[in-house]
Structure 1
């Protein structure tokens, strides 16, 4: 009897008004869960990095040459397009796109669940995803980051594979990778769904290769390969700050467990009594977990990719449990969502306030068009100040490997991205910044541990002020801006 219940139960009839009723509800829920996203100009350095990249691209920069990042190009291009249409002074257009990305993910999950288990399951999957998608630290859940734009493509890959549209599934996997490398993890469950389908692997492979090859051709193929795949060995190393990274991983895991408190009990209960039969969903969850582990950094926004498979697994489990379990899961998810919404609206703005003060000092002491250097991990300072960076390396992390929270023995010039320091020296010699802000504030990438930066400051700059612990250095031959 139980095995029969676990078999996919499709809707006998498809009411014409199903999506007409469900889409407005999901759209409203998506808007409500994203209310905190507009409560501040930006949420984390990733948004700042992307905003500065987009401005550099708009000013004639070339991706993976004069504009560099360890991430694929899809999200920087998205920011650039949004800025071209709506201006670059606000991230609101990008936040709207992020909201639409979450809504599209919810709709695809609802469609998957409805096809397998019926109309009620479709509504359940879409709603549970949106409620749980903010179950992280607000700076991870509310930001318009890489993972947000990766999720619709991973969901689309599963949706297409479930319908044996394997060429389209391959294209979706390729686009997920182009949003963030770990998006490619969805290939594992898609391969399972592909099975022994005649010609399926060929169509899947061709679909996967198409967006990757096109992107490599649009950028620099060697640079694209280096910055997205081969050039991050030191960044992905496990050594350095093991205890710090472990604590971060456990903390963010605990936050996600709290955010998914409505999803996990039905899954655990069903696991105790029977197999759910949804092997592809378990593979999706396992592959996504590997994506979280990749690089051993455990940032909170990495955990977003676990939410879609968890929402579908919870939906599958609720199909064989009494109806009161569905009500309990929904109420628990709503309560957790309300708590995270309150957290997002009341979260402290300590680092943002610091960066805003730095940006104001930068704008006051330089003219528009003058190049500056912010030596730290807050590239958003450039964007808030309306100034272009003097180097393609927007954070000290790319030049010292502090990116990702590494410290101690794994931070220094010798751990930088290959070839970064010779390029940095050429940039400083060709077009030295009129102002340098040392925002290291005692961290292990300060000038006392970076000889090249220390020599640059000693030979051509003088200290002219301090802001919140950051030190301002003005070039000796620089003309001060008019008051």
Structure 2
């Protein structure tokens, strides 16, 4: 009798095990189908980027650093920007794989990462129905491209940080030690793509602390430290800390031009609200259903803190660039998705119609980005550089014209991705020589060390042309080389005037100078 009971229990257990296995297979099949749909959708909304290359100058600055790494340069020593390192290495890998500096492969990577972000928010524990999860993924993808093309289609720091940031937010809301550690690791990856995600430590910590197992906080911060440490260990730690985190005072604190700030803020806010109405309307309805903003915040406090800290990142420095807003999208999506899934009737029809119209308009606009933002034509400069230098010879572009460096496919001369670090030029600030005292600490020294150690074959002086903030106001530009006597002396002594292309003055290195490793220190 005991043997029969044991056999019966074994059969029941086997049946239950088979049933559970079938259930997990069905769940995996459903989620795989949903994830596949998100990937296809994300690839479709990024189609313009497979035909058009440069949308935003940030893409060119990342490319300039990657080109320099291809020629043996070192990040934060020979290729310097105030941005984190991971996007540069991603570009570097794409250039190495495809054997050119085409930006379309990294646009594809940005699309794939957007799909990962959609899958992440759809997997959040607060979304209990398939409809809510579908809405979360769709809102994530559509909101990320609902910008003007220079933000919606670009492959820049903000877009690369979106996926790991969304993963960190979702994992922090799960109440397990493993999830907490992985959340910290994902947040570290986001910070290494865009440093403003650092303030996400606050809402992530609050979400993890909801489990009331305080050791989970230690696991989260440990995961964050490991993620940062693994990458920084490959790089000169002091230089990473200086350029990415410690040298931004001038960028953040220099007094803005308040009239420019007002135009940027109100114009940018109106555009963001208008393009993201399909996302913001459900959030507003959620607040209305709760009775007040205070009561709505009490339900998902961590999501609101995620949104508040992301808004701080958008406000910081009073520049209000559209792509800064991308950090706000994951928490807004999770706040909107449950309400969006419950909306019925005419309002649902209007929201869906608005979603289709905004997304379609954003994608179509991506095919003609010059309609919304015209970048300087650097092709004549690139052709001249190609004809008068070798691929391994650095060139120095004096000014803020990173696309000239990228299109020329030459490593950086002077170490900096642009001259704003030494001139103090910055967004929503008046451009004139009075900004020079706001120079980034160590920037000018880095330029001199670089040009004396590895003298650029060509110097392209954009201050004599009406390009960006460097020319046009004074006879020889707003920021001529003469404002920096040591650099001016170097050019006058070792270079000869070679040509002028589209107003840009080009100097060529004299053959007798071969570099002096100690002269620039």
The TM-score, its normalising length taken from structure 2, stands at 0.83
Query: What is the RMSD of the two structures over their aligned residues, measured on CA atoms?
Result: 2.5
2:266 is matched with 250
C-alpha distance in 2 between matches for 1:186 and 1:331: 33
Q: In 2, are the aligned partners of 1:75 and 1:146 still within 8 Å (CA)?
A: yes
Q: In 1, are the aligned partners of 2:135 and 2:341 still within 8 Å (CA)?
A: no
C-alpha distance in 1 between matches for 2:260 and 2:310: 23
SS class of match (1:383): helix
Q: In 2, are the aligned partners of 1:372 and 1:390 still within 8 Å (CA)?
A: yes
C-alpha distance in 1 between matches for 2:433 and 2:253: 9
C-alpha distance in 2 between matches for 1:411 and 1:175: 37
Q: Which moved more, 1:305-314 or 1:269-278?
A: 269-278
Q: Which moved more, 1:88-97 or 1:329-338?
A: 88-97
2:109 is matched with 97
Q: In 1, are the aligned partners of 2:256 and 2:318 still within 8 Å (CA)?
A: no
1:127 correspondence with 2:138:
yes
Give the 3 Å change call, closer, same or farther, for CA 437–198 of structure 1 in structure 2. closer
Q: Which runs of 4+ in 1 moved over 6 A?
A: none
Instruction: Give the counterpart of 1:298 among 306, 314, 320.
Output: 320
User: How many Å apart are 1:385 and its aligned residue?
Assistant: 1.1
C-alpha distance in 2 between matches for 1:103 and 1:379: 29
1:168 is matched with 182
User: How many Å apart are 1:375 and its aligned residue?
Assistant: 1.1
* Matched length: 466
1:186 correspondence with 2:197:
no
In the TM superposition, what are the counterparts of 1:337-352 in structure 2 within 5 Å? 337-348=359-370, 351-352=374-375
SS class of match (1:235): helix
SS class of match (1:406): coil
Q: In 1, are the aligned partners of 2:174 and 2:208 still within 8 Å (CA)?
A: no
C-alpha distance in 2 between matches for 1:449 and 1:211: 42
Q: In 2, are the aligned partners of 1:413 and 1:450 still within 8 Å (CA)?
A: no
1:445 is matched with 479
Q: In 2, are the aligned partners of 1:53 and 1:76 still within 8 Å (CA)?
A: yes
SS class of match (1:228): helix
Instruction: Give the counterpart of 1:60 among 56, 69, 72.
Output: 72
C-alpha distance in 1 between matches for 2:400 and 2:227: 31
Give the 3 Å change call, closer, same or farther, for CA 460–245 of structure 1 in structure 2. farther
2:223 is matched with 207
C-alpha distance in 2 between matches for 1:288 and 1:410: 33
Give the 3 Å change call, closer, same or farther, for CA 383–187 of structure 1 in structure 2. same
1:4 is matched with none
Instruction: Give the counterpart of 2:421 among 388, 398, 403.
Output: 398
2:354 is matched with 332
1:152 is matched with 163
Q: Which moved more, 1:25-34 or 1:411-420?
A: 411-420
SS class of match (2:397): strand
Q: In 1, are the aligned partners of 2:256 and 2:428 still within 8 Å (CA)?
A: no
1:468 correspondence with 2:502:
yes
C-alpha distance in 1 between matches for 2:393 and 2:229: 37
1:418 is matched with 441
Give the 3 Å change call, closer, same or farther, for CA 89–320 of structure 1 in structure 2. closer
| Structure 1 gaps, min length 5 | 1-12
C-alpha distance in 2 between matches for 1:251 and 1:357: 34
Instruction: Give the counterpart of 2:88 among 76, 96, 105.
Output: 76
Q: Which moved more, 1:333-342 or 1:35-44?
A: 35-44
Give the 3 Å change call, closer, same or farther, for CA 430–278 of structure 1 in structure 2. closer
C-alpha distance in 2 between matches for 1:307 and 1:281: 11
C-alpha distance in 2 between matches for 1:410 and 1:229: 26
User: For 1:318-342, what per-residue CA distance to the aligned partner results, in whole angstroms no more than 9, with x for missing partners?
Assistant: 3554354344322211111111122
C-alpha distance in 2 between matches for 1:80 and 1:470: 28
C-alpha distance in 1 between matches for 2:238 and 2:409: 31
Q: Which moved more, 1:61-70 or 1:146-155?
A: 61-70
Q: In 2, are the aligned partners of 1:241 and 1:407 still within 8 Å (CA)?
A: yes
